[in-house]
């Protein structure tokens, strides 16, 4: 097992390098960039642009998108070429692309993600600031979806082909087909003062007076705020795990050992939860880390926007729009690395649940 883990860890290195290299190359051909954006703001008499230039990216030029001379910038007419050259140097665009890429890799090897171009704060501090929102959405959505899908999947397997199975399948498929942001808008209309009841708040993870509340009141206030966004995300998230649970139980129920257990006189409940459950839940439980990461990174952008939750999804989107490359590449690096680690954890979870599985005997 140790040899398998070591091989997987070693394979993470070229995978990360490939992801970062492809993304870096694509950025070189993307229109616009931080320098061009600042020049456009200056030409548009944006008074705040000058203050942002003063503290900008500093050494963090390794995440630059596309360098070039001043003549390549639209909106550069009438500006001092020396000023434009100084701006390019500040963002690191005075260096060739391959040097910027190698510097980025060297910085990331020491977990130095530099500073945001336009916020003048360390990228790692930005990520730490937004992390609680994304963890809240990802963790509670995964727990809620599994709490729904596992009992529902078992019930569907036991009642396979019944009216209950058919109607719940219709509901599950409809829930999967409708985007979570539409559920979010519906919940706001119904329960957040849209047109009917005003029961839940519309923004934030906690109330403004949260610090002055007692601990029981803080817990209630926290769950009061996350009820609508978590519900909106979970309504369409449990479909895959529900059908996976059902099919896994059906496969196990039809095996010979289940027939043998029944012939010994065991009740259906003893057969189901004493013999079938562990084997059937192997693939479902082992997929939990991956499901959490998927919800954590991929499913919360629109929900964060609708409910005014300032998390990593919204941060990544705003950084892409604003060409804030240090934040964009840092998020990409961290998300990719965590995804690869979670895939390894998922494989190891199989062996923990079922010791009969041995990855040493298979090629990576």
Question: Domains of the chain: which residue ranges?
Answer: 124-353
pLDDT of residue 15: 93
Q: What average pLDDT does this structure show over 272-298? A: 73
CB atoms within 10 A of CB 352: 11
Which pLDDT tens digit goes with each residue over 128-167? 888 888 888 888 888 888 888 889 988 998 888 899 999 9
pLDDT of residue 58: 38
Residue 222 predicted with pLDDT over 60: yes
pLDDT of residue 120: 79
Confirm if 149 and 238 have CB atoms less than 8 A apart.
yes
Least trusted range by pLDDT, from 87-96, 104-113, 266-275? 87-96
Distance in angstroms (rounded) separating the CA atoms of residues 4 and 354:
17
Least trusted range by pLDDT, from 89-93, 119-123, 132-136, 323-327? 89-93
Residue with tokens 């090897």: 109
Confirm if 88 and 57 have CB atoms less than 8 A apart.
no
Residue 88 predicted with pLDDT over 80: no
Backbone angles phi, psi at 122, to 5 degrees: -60, 140
pLDDT of residue 163: 92
Q: Give the mean pLDDT of the chain.
A: 78
Residue 46 predicted with pLDDT over 90: no
| Environment class of 210 (CB within 10 Å of its CB; exposed 0-12, middle 13-18, buried 19+) | middle
Residue 233 CB-half CA count within 13 A: 33
| DSSP-based three-state secondary structure for 344 | helix
Q: Which fold has domain 124-353?
A: MetI-like fold (1.10.3720)
pLDDT of residue 60: 37
Q: Could you report how far apart the first and last alpha carbons of the chain are, in Å?
A: 12
Residue 77 predicted with pLDDT over 60: no
Residue with tokens 């409708």: 178
Least trusted range by pLDDT, from 17-26, 137-146, 168-177, 286-295? 286-295
Residue 234 predicted with pLDDT over 70: yes
Residue 6 predicted with pLDDT over 80: yes
Tokens of 42: 């200056």
pLDDT of residue 93: 76
pLDDT of residue 55: 43
pLDDT of residue 166: 92
Least trusted range by pLDDT, from 48-62, 261-275, 282-296, 314-328? 48-62
Q: What average pLDDT does this structure show over 66-71? A: 36
Distance (Å) of CA 313 to CA 25, 331, 335 = 23, 10, 11
Residue 69 predicted with pLDDT over 60: no
Look at the pTM and tell me if it is higher than 0.75: no
Helix axes 239-253, 123-158, angle to 10 degrees: 40
Tokens of 5: 């883990």
Residue 54 predicted with pLDDT over 50: no
Confirm if 72 and 37 have CB atoms less than 8 A apart.
no
Quote the percentage of the chain above a pLDDT of 90: 8
């Amino acid at each position: 097992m140790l040899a398998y883990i070591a091989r997987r860890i070693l394979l993470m290195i070229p995978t990360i390098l490939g992801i970062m290299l492809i993304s870096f190359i694509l950025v070189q051909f993307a229109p616009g960039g931080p320098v061009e954006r600042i020049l456009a703001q200056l030409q548009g008499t944006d008074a705040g642009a000058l203050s942002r230039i003063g503290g900008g990216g500093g050494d963090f030029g390794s995440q630059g998108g596309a360098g070039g001379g001043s003549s390549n910038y639209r909106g550069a007419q009438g500006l001092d070429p020396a000023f434009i050259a100084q701006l390019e140097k500040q963002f690191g665009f005075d260096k060739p692309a391959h040097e910027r890429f190698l510097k980025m890799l060297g910085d990331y090897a020491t977990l130095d993600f530099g500073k945001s171009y336009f916020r003048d704060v360390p990228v790692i501090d930005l990520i730490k600031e937004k992390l609680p929102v994304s963890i809240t959405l990802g963790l509670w959505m995964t727990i809620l979806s599994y709490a729904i899908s596992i009992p529902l999947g078992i019930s569907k397997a036991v009642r396979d082909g019944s009216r209950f199975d058919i109607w719940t399948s219709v509901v599950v498929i409809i829930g999967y087909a409708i985007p979570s942001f539409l559920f979010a808008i519906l919940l706001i209309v119904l329960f957040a003062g849209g047109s009917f009841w005003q029961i839940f708040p519309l923004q934030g993870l906690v109330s403004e007076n949260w610090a002055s509340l007692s601990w029981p009141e803080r817990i209630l206030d926290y769950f009061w705020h996350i009820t609508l966004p978590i519900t909106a995300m979970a309504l369409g998230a449990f479909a895959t795990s529900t059908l996976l649970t059902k099919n896994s139980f059906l496969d196990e129920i039809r095996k010979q050992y289940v027939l043998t257990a029944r012939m010994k006189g065991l009740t259906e409940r003893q057969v189901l939860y004493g013999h079938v459950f562990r084997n059937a839940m192997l693939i479902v439980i082992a997929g939990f880390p991956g499901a959490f990461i998927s919800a954590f990174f991929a499913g919360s952008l629109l929900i964060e926007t609708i409910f005014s939750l300032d998390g990593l999804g919204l941060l990544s989107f705003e950084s892409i729009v604003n060409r804030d490359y240090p934040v964009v590449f840092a998020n990409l690096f961290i998300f990719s690395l965590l995804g690869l680690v979670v895939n390894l954890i998922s494989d190891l979870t199989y062996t923990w649940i079922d010791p009969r599985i041995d990855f040493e005997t298979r090629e990576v």
